Amino acid sequence: MDDLNTQVWAVDALGALAHETRLSAFRALVKAGPEGMIAGALSQHCGVPPSTMSHHLATLERAALVQSARESRLIRYRADFAGMRRLLTFLMQDCCQGAPEMCGDLLGDLICPANQPVNI
């Protein structure tokens, strides 16, 4: 994909995240990890009606930040970690004019305790 198409995609992805409910849903799915969450639980977590949540999740899915899978009558949503990585890479690819050490250990700023239970 060329730079212009990548930039257009990145604008769409950032636009999808530029809403309080969608950002909250995306962060909850990232926190849930590969297991993801059922749509109804995600709706409750975000405090919005299921139909509204469905609209927000569709926006995130179109932006390649969320994936869905039907499980019988339920739909399970998962963060699309490849899409998230793609967006972060796009944002950081030209970090510090070719001196990435200036950006520091960005991931080192994250606090991700191992084996901590997910409270959603």
Domains, the chain, ranges and CATH? Answer: 3-95 (1.10.10.10)
What is the tens place of the pLDDT at every residue in 58-104? 999 999 999 999 999 999 999 999 999 999 888 887 777 777 677 76
Residue 120, pLDDT above cutoff 90: no
Cα 74 to Cα 80: distance, rounded to the nearest angstrom: 19
What is the tens place of the pLDDT at every residue in 1-35? 467 788 999 999 999 999 999 999 999 999 999 99
Beta-carbon contacts of 43 under 8 Å, excluding residues fewer than 6 positions away, are 49, 50, 52, 53
Residue 53, pLDDT above cutoff 80: yes
What is the tens place of the pLDDT at every residue in 62-72? 999 999 999 99
Whether the predicted model's global pTM rises above the 0.75 cut: yes
Tokens of residue 12, six digits: 């769409």
What is residue 115's predicted lDDT score, i.e. its pLDDT? 47
Residue 114, pLDDT above cutoff 90: no
